[in-house]
Structure 1
Amino acid sequence: METLDSIFQTFADYAWGLPLLIILIGGGLYLLVRSQFLPFRYFFHALNVLRGKYDDPNAPGEITHFQALSTALASTIGMGNIAGVAVAIHIGGPGAMFWMWISAIIGMSTKFFTCTLAIMFRGKDSNGDIQGGPMYFIMEGLGKSWKPLAVFFSICGLIGALPVFNVNQLKQAINFILLEPNGIEVTNTSNIIIGVVLVAITAIVILGGLDRISKTASKLVPSMVLLYFVLVMIILGVYIEEVPRYFALMFTDAFAANNYKGDSFLGGVVGGLILLGVRRGAFSNEAGIGTAPMAHGASKTNEPVREGLVAMLGPAIDTLVVCTLTALAILVTGVWQTSEANGVSLTAAAFNDAIPGYGNYLLLICIATFSISSLFTYSYYGTKCMSFLFGAHNKHYYNYFYIASIILGAITPLSMMLNLIDGTFALMAIPTMTATIILAPKVIKEMKAYAQRMRL
C-alpha cells in the first residue's frame, strides 16, 4: 500500500507539474495573442449578458447565463481560494499572488474559448437531449476519429469529479475550528456524523438534477462571495494602515522573491515563485481543465460567443477577487510571518487575529458553503461524463457512487485516493486544451461575426 501511495503521489505531482502548466499557460497565452485580446474588449458587454439583458427563454439549453456561471463558480470557488492561497503565501510570500493574477488573466482567455466551443459544438446524448462540454466539442468539432480523446476526458472526469478532497478539507476545517477548541474529541464517530450530514444535504440537491443544482448554486454563490468580501473588509479595516504596503509588496516581491522558501526553478528563486503562483492559480480557477464548459454548455442561448464572455468572468471573480481577499487578510494580520500554521489553518489564524472570538466561526460558514456548493456541481460533472460513456439512462448510478465517496472522504485520510483524484483531474486539461487550440480559429471567426451583428 505504501508503494502504491508513493506511486500516486508521484503521479499527482507530475500531473500538476511543469507539463500541465505549459499546456494551460502556454496554450492560454497562444489563445490570448491569437485572438488579439478580443474577449477583454467586450468585458462590459459580458456584464450586461450576465445580468440577463440578452436572455432568451426559448433558446435551446436548460439554464440561464447567470445560473451557468454560478454553477461553474460553485466548483471553482472552494478550498483553493482559502487553503490554496494560504499555501502559496506560506511558501512564496506576497509575490506569489501576482503570479496567480497572471494565471487568472490568461485563464480568462482560456475560459472564453472553451466555453464558446461548448455552445458552438453541442452534441446529443443517448436520450437525444442537447449537451455541451469538452467531450462533445471534441466529437462535434474535430470529428468521430477524435473519439478516444473525448473518452479519455470522460474517464478522467469520472474520477476527478469525486468529492473526496473537498470533503476531507471541510472535515479538517470543522475539526480544527469547531470541535477541538471546544473540547470535543475528534473520533471516527464524529467524522461519520459529518459525512452523514454532508450526504443528506448533497443528496437532496443532486438527485433533483441540474435544475435544482443551478438554482441552489445561483443563490449560494453570490451570497457566500458577499459574506466573505464583508468579512475581509472588516479585517482590512482593522489593519487599514498595512494595506497599501502589502498591496505594493505583491508587485515588488513578485520579481524579487525575497520571501520565497521553495525550490528554485529554471536556475532561480523567481522562477520557482512564478511556478508556484501559476500552479496555485490554475488549481484555483480551473481554466482549461474542462469542468466549466460542462456547466456553460447547458446554458439557454443560440450565441456561443455570449456564453464564452460570461464564462470569462469566472477567473476574474475566483482569483482576482476572492483569492486576493484571502491573500490580503493573511498578509495584513502578519500571521504569515508569526504562525507555523499552513493551508486553511493559516487563513483561520488571520480571521481569529482580526475578529477574535467570532472570526473562526464566520470563516467556517464560508468554508462550509464553498465546499458544499462544490459538492453539488462536481456531481453534475461526473454524471455528464457517465452519460457520455455509458448512456444517459445510466447516469444516475454515478450519483450513488458519488454519495458513497463522501462518507469515504469523511472517515479516512485517503492520501492515496486524494492523489489519484487530484492527478486525473489535472489530466482532463490535455484533451480540453488540445481540442481548444485546434478549434481556436473557428471561435475567432465566430467572435468577429458576433461583434458585427451586435455592432460592438
Structure 2
Amino acid sequence: METLEQIFVTFANYAWGTPMLVLLVGGGVIFLIFSRFMPYRNFRHGIEVLSGKYEDPTAPGDINHFQALSSTLAATVGMGNISGVAIALGVGGPGAIFWMWITALVGMATKYFTCTLSIMYRGKDSSGKIQGGPMYYIVEGLGPKWKPLAMFFSLAGLIGCTPMFQSNQLTQIIRDTVLAENGWLGYDVMLLADTAMTETGFRLSDIIVGLLLVGLVSLVIFGGIKRIGNVASRLVPLMVAVYILTVVYIIINNISDLPQYFWLIVSDAFKGEYASGEAAFGGALGFMISQGIRRGAFSNEAGIGTEAMAHGAAKTREPVREGLVGMLEPAIDTLLVCSMTAMALLMTGAWTDSSVDGITMTATAFQTGIPAIGLYLLLICVFIFSVTTMFTYSYYGSKCLNFLAGANRAHYYNYFYIFSIFIGSITTIDMVVNLVDGMFAMMAIPTVISTLLLAPRVMEATRDYFERKKKGEFDQI
C-alpha cells in the first residue's frame, strides 16, 4: 500500500511540474489577452443568459443553461472548496490561496473558450445522439487526424472523473466526528488518523459508509444527465447558500483580522515560507505555487475539460452564450467560496494544527468558529456538496467511455464508478488526491492544447455574436 501510494505521489508531482503550470496558467493568460478581457466585460450578459432571458426550448441539447451551470457547479463547488482549501493551506501555506485565485481569474477566460467550443463543435456518438466536450471538439474542430489526442483525454477522464476524493472526505468527516464523538469506532481515531487500515483490516465504519454512498448515488446516476441536472439545480443553490452564510458568520466574528490574513496570503504567495515540501522544480516556493494551482484546478476545473462535457449538453444554438455561462463558474467557485473557506481556516487558527488535515481541519475551524452548531452545519454542507459532485462526475466518465467504446457500452462506466466510490471510502487521502490530481493534469494537456489551436475560431464567433446583439437581433427572443 505504501509503495503504491508513493508511486501516485511521484506521478502527481511530476504531472504538476513546471510544464503543466505554464500550460494551464499560461494558456489562461493567452485566452484572456486574446479575448481582450471579454469575459469580464460581458459578465452581466452572462447572468442574463443564465436567467433564461434567451432560452430556446426548440434548440438541440438535453438541459437548459441554468441546469448546465448547476451540474458543473455541483462538481466544482464541492469538496475542493471545503477540504481542498484545507489541503492547500496545510501543505502549501497561505500563499497557496493566492495561486488558487490566479487559476480562477485566468480560468474564467479558459472556461469561456472551452464551453463555447463545446457547442460550436458538437459531434454525434455511435447512436447518433449529439454530444459535446473536448474529445468531440478536438475531432470535429481539428479533424480526424487529431483523434489520438481526443482518446488520450477520454482515457485520462475514466480515472480523473471518479468520485474517490469526495467519498474519501465524506467518509473521513463522518468517521472523525459523528462516529468518534459518540465512541462508536471501538478505537482511538487520532491514533489511526494517517492510515486506512487497522490491525484487523479496513475500518468497518469506512466499509459501511462506502456501501451506503454506493446505494444513494446509484439511485440518481443511472437516470442520466436530465435527472442529474434536475437534482443539481435544486440542491446546488441551497448548499451554496447554507455554506456561505455559515462561513460569513465566522468571518464577521473575526472581521478585525481580515486585513491581516488577506495580506498574509498575498505576501506569502512569493515566499512559500509555510510550505511543507519541495517541488521537483522550484524548491519550497515552487511547491507552494504547484499546490495552489493544483487545488485551484481541482476546485474550478478550468482547462481540465470536465466543464465542457456538461455544457456541451445545453439547449442552445449560440455557442457564445454557453461560454458566457461557463465563465461564471470560477468566480463563484474559487473567488467566492474557496476564499471564504480559507479565511475561516486562517481566522480560527485551524490551519496551524498539524494533527488534522483535509476535511478534519475544516471541521476544527467550524467547531472553533461556531461552537454549538458549526460542526453540524458543516456536516450538512459536506454531505450535499460531496453527493451532488458524485452525481455529476458519473456523467463525465460515461461520456469518455461513450467516445472510446460506443454508446451501447457507455452505461458500463457507472458500475466502475460506484465501485470507485467504495474504494475511495476505504483508502488513504494521499492515494486518492494524488491519483486524481495526476489524471486531471493528463486531461488538461489535450484540453488546453486543442483550445489554443481553435481559439481564433472562438473569437470569430464572438465578434459575430456581439455584432448581432448590437443590432438588436436577440431583443425579441
Q: TM-score range by the shorter chain?
A: over 0.9
Distance 1:272 1:388, change over 3 A: closer
- Computed over aligned residues only, the root mean square deviation of the Cα atoms, in angstroms, reads 2.1
Please give the alpha-carbon distance, in whole angstroms, between the structure 1 residues aligned to 2:391 and 2:112: 23
8 Å Cα contact 2:17-2:280 kept in structure 1: no
Corresponding position of 1:453: 468
8 Å Cα contact 1:191-1:411 kept in structure 2: yes
Residues 137-189 of structure 1: CA deviation (Å, up to 9, x unaligned): 00100001111111111111112112222211211111112111111116733
Distance 1:260 1:193, change over 3 A: closer
Work out whether 1:306 is the aligned partner of 2:314. Answer: no
Distance 1:145 1:338, change over 3 A: closer
Work out whether 1:404 is the aligned partner of 2:419. Answer: yes
Q: CA deviation at 1:15?
A: 1.6
Q: CA deviation at 1:261?
A: 4.6
Please give the alpha-carbon distance, in whole angstroms, between the structure 2 residues aligned to 1:344 and 1:201: 21
Please give the alpha-carbon distance, in whole angstroms, between the structure 2 residues aligned to 1:11 and 1:262: 16
Corresponding position of 1:166: 166
Please give the alpha-carbon distance, in whole angstroms, between the structure 2 residues aligned to 1:266 and 1:396: 41
Aligned to 1:422, the other structure's residue is in SS state helix
Aligned to 2:327, the other structure's residue is in SS state helix
Q: CA deviation at 1:97?
A: 2.0
Residues 184-217 of structure 1: CA deviation (Å, up to 9, x unaligned): 1167332222122211211111111111001111
Q: CA deviation at 1:355?
A: 0.9
* TM-score, length of structure 2 as denominator length: 0.90
Number of residue pairs matched by the alignment: 456
Q: CA deviation at 1:87?
A: 2.3
Corresponding position of 2:252: 237
Q: How do 1:428-439 residues align onto structure 2 when only pairs under 5 Å count?
A: 428-439=443-454
Corresponding position of 2:15: 15
Work out whether 1:379 is the aligned partner of 2:399. Answer: no
2:221 alignment partner AA: I
Please give the alpha-carbon distance, in whole angstroms, between the structure 2 residues aligned to 1:330 and 1:353: 10
Corresponding position of 2:132: 132
Which 5+ residue runs of structure 2 have no aligned equivalent? 187-201, 472-477
8 Å Cα contact 1:164-1:406 kept in structure 2: yes
Distance 1:250 1:223, change over 3 A: same
Tell me which moved more, 414-423 or 278-287: 414-423
Aligned to 1:428, the other structure's residue is in SS state helix
8 Å Cα contact 1:177-1:364 kept in structure 2: no
2:12 alignment partner AA: A
Work out whether 1:28 is the aligned partner of 2:28. Answer: yes
Aligned equivalent of 2:215, options 200, 204, 224: 200
Tell me which moved more, 335-344 or 47-56: 335-344
Residues 54-112 of structure 1: CA deviation (Å, up to 9, x unaligned): 11111111101111011111111222211221122234443332221111101111111
Q: How do 1:31-50 residues align onto structure 2 when only pairs under 5 Å count?
A: 31-50=31-50
Q: How do 1:26-425 residues align onto structure 2 when only pairs under 5 Å count?
A: 26-185=26-185, 188-255=203-270, 257=272, 259-263=274-278, 270-337=285-352, 340-413=355-428, 419-425=434-440
Tell me which moved more, 17-26 or 370-379: 17-26
Tell me which moved more, 280-289 or 113-122: 280-289
Please give the alpha-carbon distance, in whole angstroms, between the structure 1 residues aligned to 2:20 and 2:371: 41
Aligned to 1:9, the other structure's residue is in SS state helix
8 Å Cα contact 2:17-2:279 kept in structure 1: no
Please give the alpha-carbon distance, in whole angstroms, between the structure 2 residues aligned to 1:227 and 1:11: 37
* TM-score, length of structure 1 as denominator length: 0.94
Distance 1:165 1:275, change over 3 A: closer
8 Å Cα contact 2:70-2:233 kept in structure 1: yes
Please give the alpha-carbon distance, in whole angstroms, between the structure 1 residues aligned to 2:286 and 2:154: 34
